[in-house]
Amino acid sequence: MTQTGRDPSNKYHWYSAFNMQVASLGGQVGCLTLLMVLGAVFGGIWLDRVFETKPLFTLLLVLGSAPLSLVLTYWLAWRAVRDMPKPPAARRIDQGKEDDSGE
């Protein structure tokens, strides 16, 4: 039985790390958006009960959470791109070919 560990010399190792970072970013954005919408809905319902204004605060908070969610999504994506490691240098395709200059 062989162990299926990751070989650091594997040229596709960078792609695996990149995919994990993208999946992590997607999870962060999804959870952040869900928490913001749920907070806006339940906070709006609570404020509407306190001030006896049926849908006013709920609608305002839910509509206000959309642009805030977009700004925070942009900020998270920018931070993830900034912190992302650089891809390995690509090898030249013609590395093994002989020079065609005739010398």
Count other Cβ atoms within 10 Å, centred on residue 61. 22
pLDDT interval class at 15 (50, 70, 90) = confident
Separation CA 49–CA 43 (nearest Å):
10
27-85 pLDDT, tens digit each: 999 999 999 999 999 999 999 999 999 899 999 999 999 999 999 999 999 999 898 87
Using alpha carbons only, give the angle 6, 7, 12 rounded to the nearest 5 degrees: 90
Looking at residue 17, what is its pLDDT?
A: 82
The residue with tokens 């001030």 is: 51
